[in-house]
Protein backbone atom coordinates (compact mmCIF):
# COMPACT_ATOMS: atom_id res chain seq x y z
CA UNK A 1 0.00 0.00 0.00
CA UNK A 2 1.61 3.24 -1.17
CA UNK A 3 0.32 6.01 1.07
CA UNK A 4 0.56 9.71 0.34
CA UNK A 5 0.29 12.43 2.95
CA UNK A 6 -0.58 16.00 2.00
CA UNK A 7 -0.87 18.39 4.92
CA UNK A 8 -1.47 22.11 4.97
CA UNK A 9 -3.52 24.92 6.32
CA UNK A 10 -5.89 24.99 3.34
CA UNK A 11 -7.45 28.28 4.39
CA UNK A 12 -9.05 28.01 1.88
CA UNK A 13 -8.20 25.07 -0.42
CA UNK A 14 -7.61 26.44 -3.94
CA UNK A 15 -7.15 24.99 -7.41
CA UNK A 16 -3.35 25.08 -6.97
CA UNK A 17 -3.71 22.60 -4.09
CA UNK A 18 -6.09 20.46 -6.14
CA UNK A 19 -3.76 20.37 -9.12
CA UNK A 20 -0.87 19.44 -6.80
CA UNK A 21 -2.87 16.59 -5.19
CA UNK A 22 -3.67 15.03 -8.58
CA UNK A 23 -0.08 15.43 -9.82
CA UNK A 24 1.11 13.74 -6.61
CA UNK A 25 -1.30 10.79 -7.03
CA UNK A 26 -0.06 10.20 -10.56
CA UNK A 27 3.66 10.90 -10.13
CA UNK A 28 4.00 8.60 -7.12
CA UNK A 29 1.37 6.03 -8.21
CA UNK A 30 -0.30 6.23 -4.80
CA UNK A 31 -2.92 3.74 -3.61
CA UNK A 32 -4.33 6.22 -1.11
CA UNK A 33 -3.80 9.92 -0.48
CA UNK A 34 -4.65 11.44 2.89
CA UNK A 35 -5.21 15.18 2.79
CA UNK A 36 -4.95 16.63 6.28
CA UNK A 37 -5.89 20.17 7.24
CA UNK A 38 -3.95 21.30 10.28
CA UNK A 39 -5.49 22.16 13.61
CA UNK A 40 -2.95 24.83 14.59
CA UNK A 41 -0.18 25.12 12.00
CA UNK A 42 3.15 25.03 13.90
CA UNK A 43 4.64 27.75 11.70
CA UNK A 44 1.71 30.12 11.16
CA UNK A 45 -0.42 32.39 13.30
CA UNK A 46 -3.90 30.86 13.37
CA UNK A 47 -6.23 32.74 11.06
CA UNK A 48 -9.10 34.52 12.76
CA UNK A 49 -11.13 34.37 9.57
CA UNK A 50 -11.97 30.67 9.46
CA UNK A 51 -12.13 27.67 11.79
CA UNK A 52 -10.55 24.22 11.48
CA UNK A 53 -14.05 22.89 10.76
CA UNK A 54 -14.49 25.40 7.89
CA UNK A 55 -11.18 24.35 6.35
CA UNK A 56 -12.10 20.66 6.63
CA UNK A 57 -15.54 21.21 5.08
CA UNK A 58 -14.12 23.22 2.18
CA UNK A 59 -11.67 20.41 1.41
CA UNK A 60 -14.50 17.87 1.45
CA UNK A 61 -16.58 20.05 -0.87
CA UNK A 62 -13.73 20.64 -3.33
CA UNK A 63 -12.75 16.98 -3.60
CA UNK A 64 -16.39 15.87 -3.95
CA UNK A 65 -16.81 17.80 -7.17
CA UNK A 66 -16.82 15.36 -10.09
CA UNK A 67 -13.97 17.22 -11.81
CA UNK A 68 -11.71 16.83 -8.75
CA UNK A 69 -12.92 13.67 -6.99
CA UNK A 70 -10.77 10.54 -6.93
CA UNK A 71 -11.59 7.42 -4.95
CA UNK A 72 -8.01 7.26 -3.66
CA UNK A 73 -8.31 10.65 -1.93
CA UNK A 74 -9.37 10.70 1.74
CA UNK A 75 -9.90 14.01 3.55
CA UNK A 76 -8.83 13.27 7.11
CA UNK A 77 -9.59 15.19 10.30
CA UNK A 78 -6.81 13.30 12.12
CA UNK A 79 -4.64 16.36 12.84
CA UNK A 80 -7.63 18.38 13.98
CA UNK A 81 -9.00 15.74 16.32
CA UNK A 82 -5.57 14.94 17.78
CA UNK A 83 -5.49 18.54 18.98
CA UNK A 84 -2.46 20.66 19.82
CA UNK A 85 0.02 21.70 17.18
CA UNK A 86 -0.06 19.76 13.91
CA UNK A 87 3.38 18.24 14.05
CA UNK A 88 3.98 16.25 10.88
CA UNK A 89 6.20 13.67 12.55
CA UNK A 90 3.28 12.60 14.79
CA UNK A 91 1.06 12.25 11.73
CA UNK A 92 3.66 10.08 10.01
CA UNK A 93 3.96 7.89 13.11
CA UNK A 94 0.18 7.49 13.19
CA UNK A 95 -0.14 6.51 9.51
CA UNK A 96 2.87 4.19 9.64
CA UNK A 97 0.52 1.74 11.39
CA UNK A 98 -1.28 1.50 8.07
CA UNK A 99 1.76 1.33 5.78
CA UNK A 100 5.53 1.74 5.99
CA UNK A 101 5.57 3.10 2.45
CA UNK A 102 4.69 6.75 2.98
CA UNK A 103 5.42 9.65 0.67
CA UNK A 104 4.84 13.19 1.81
CA UNK A 105 3.97 16.01 -0.55
CA UNK A 106 5.63 19.38 -0.06
CA UNK A 107 5.43 22.61 -1.99
CA UNK A 108 8.63 24.57 -2.47
CA UNK A 109 8.39 26.62 0.71
CA UNK A 110 7.77 23.59 2.92
CA UNK A 111 10.41 21.44 1.21
CA UNK A 112 13.22 23.94 1.76
CA UNK A 113 12.57 24.20 5.50
CA UNK A 114 11.86 20.52 6.26
CA UNK A 115 15.02 19.93 8.26
CA UNK A 116 14.05 22.68 10.72
CA UNK A 117 10.60 21.26 11.44
CA UNK A 118 9.93 19.63 14.80
CA UNK A 119 11.93 16.35 14.65
CA UNK A 120 12.74 17.13 11.01
CA UNK A 121 15.49 14.49 10.96
CA UNK A 122 12.95 11.81 11.92
CA UNK A 123 10.60 13.00 9.16
CA UNK A 124 13.40 12.71 6.62
CA UNK A 125 14.20 9.18 7.77
CA UNK A 126 10.58 7.95 7.92
CA UNK A 127 9.08 9.26 4.70
CA UNK A 128 9.83 9.66 1.05
CA UNK A 129 9.36 13.24 -0.09
CA UNK A 130 7.73 14.48 -3.28
CA UNK A 131 8.33 18.16 -3.96
CA UNK A 132 6.22 19.98 -6.50
CA UNK A 133 7.76 23.31 -7.42
CA UNK A 134 5.02 25.94 -7.21
CA UNK A 135 6.88 28.72 -8.98
CA UNK A 136 9.21 29.02 -11.94
CA UNK A 137 11.90 31.14 -10.31
CA UNK A 138 15.32 29.69 -11.34
CA UNK A 139 16.80 30.45 -7.90
CA UNK A 140 14.02 28.45 -6.20
CA UNK A 141 14.52 25.56 -8.63
CA UNK A 142 18.26 25.52 -7.85
CA UNK A 143 17.57 25.63 -4.11
CA UNK A 144 15.23 22.64 -4.41
CA UNK A 145 17.87 20.62 -6.26
CA UNK A 146 20.47 21.43 -3.59
CA UNK A 147 18.11 20.55 -0.73
CA UNK A 148 17.14 17.26 -2.42
CA UNK A 149 20.80 16.30 -2.75
CA UNK A 150 21.41 17.16 0.90
CA UNK A 151 18.42 15.13 2.17
CA UNK A 152 19.46 12.10 0.11
CA UNK A 153 23.08 12.29 1.32
CA UNK A 154 22.43 13.12 4.99
CA UNK A 155 19.36 10.97 5.70
CA UNK A 156 19.01 8.57 2.75
CA UNK A 157 15.62 10.13 1.99
CA UNK A 158 14.14 9.16 -1.38
CA UNK A 159 13.20 12.52 -2.94
CA UNK A 160 11.05 12.91 -6.06
CA UNK A 161 10.97 16.11 -8.07
CA UNK A 162 8.40 15.39 -10.80
CA UNK A 163 7.75 17.85 -13.60
CA UNK A 164 4.77 19.97 -12.60
CA UNK A 165 2.86 22.80 -14.21
CA UNK A 166 1.76 24.84 -11.18
CA UNK A 167 -1.11 27.22 -10.84
CA UNK A 168 0.71 30.12 -9.20
CA UNK A 169 -1.73 31.12 -6.46
CA UNK A 170 -1.82 31.15 -2.67
CA UNK A 171 -4.55 31.12 -0.04
CA UNK A 172 -3.19 34.47 1.16
CA UNK A 173 -3.89 36.00 -2.26
CA UNK A 174 -7.35 34.45 -2.35
CA UNK A 175 -8.25 35.80 1.11
CA UNK A 176 -7.10 39.25 -0.03
CA UNK A 177 -9.21 39.04 -3.19
CA UNK A 178 -12.29 38.07 -1.20
CA UNK A 179 -11.70 40.92 1.26
CA UNK A 180 -11.50 43.33 -1.71
CA UNK A 181 -14.69 41.86 -3.20
CA UNK A 182 -12.85 40.54 -6.27
CA UNK A 183 -13.62 37.45 -8.30
CA UNK A 184 -11.95 34.12 -7.54
CA UNK A 185 -13.05 32.49 -10.80
CA UNK A 186 -10.48 29.99 -12.00
CA UNK A 187 -8.81 29.92 -8.57
CA UNK A 188 -11.37 28.23 -6.30
CA UNK A 189 -13.84 25.45 -6.92
CA UNK A 190 -17.35 26.99 -7.15
CA UNK A 191 -18.67 25.02 -4.17
CA UNK A 192 -15.84 26.35 -1.99
CA UNK A 193 -16.63 29.92 -3.03
CA UNK A 194 -20.30 29.29 -2.20
CA UNK A 195 -19.30 28.00 1.24
CA UNK A 196 -17.09 31.05 1.86
CA UNK A 197 -19.90 33.44 0.90
CA UNK A 198 -22.55 31.54 2.87
CA UNK A 199 -20.39 31.66 6.02
CA UNK A 200 -19.03 35.18 5.51
CA UNK A 201 -15.40 34.01 5.61
CA UNK A 202 -12.39 36.20 4.78
CA UNK A 203 -14.28 39.47 4.59
CA UNK A 204 -12.21 42.51 5.54
Contact criterion met (CB below 8 Å) for 133 and 104: no
Who's near 188: CB < 8 A, 6+ residues apart?
12, 13, 14, 15, 174, 196
| 103 binds ligand ATP per the rule CB under 6 A | no
Measured from the CB atom, the residue of 4 and 107 that comes closer to ligand ATP is 107
Q: Is 20 in the site for ligand ATP (CB under 6 A)?
A: yes
Cα-based torsion angle of the residue sequence 45, 47, 52, 58 in order, rounded to the nearest 10 degrees: -130
Minimum separation from the CB atom of position 150 to ligand ATP (A): 19
Task: Report in angstroms how near the CB of residue 15 gets to ligand ATP at its nearest.
Answer: 8
Interatomic CA distance for residues 135 and 50, integer angstroms: 26
Single residue of 3, 4, 5, 8 touching ligand ATP by CB under 6 A: 8
Does residue number 166 form part of the binding site for ligand ATP (CB under 6 A)?
A: yes
Q: Find the radius of gyration of the CA atoms of the chain.
A: 16
Pairing label, strands 102-107, 3-8: parallel
- Judged by beta carbon, residue 49 or residue 90, the one nearer ligand ATP is 49
Query: Rounded to whole angstroms, how far apart are CA atoms 39 and 84?
Result: 7
Instruction: Give me the count of residues in the chain.
Output: 204
Under rule CB under 6 A, residue 12 binds ligand ATP: no
For ligand ATP, the binding residue among 27, 132, 187, 196 (CB under 6 A) is 132
| Interaction site with ligand ATP (CB under 6 A) | 8-11, 16-17, 20, 106-107, 109-110, 132, 134, 166-167, 169-172
Amino acid sequence: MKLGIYGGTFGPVHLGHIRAAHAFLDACALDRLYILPTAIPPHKAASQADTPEDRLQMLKLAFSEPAYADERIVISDYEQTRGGKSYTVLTLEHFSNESQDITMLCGTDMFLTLERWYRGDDILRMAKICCLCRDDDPAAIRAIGDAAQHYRAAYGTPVYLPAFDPLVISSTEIRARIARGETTDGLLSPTVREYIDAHGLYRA
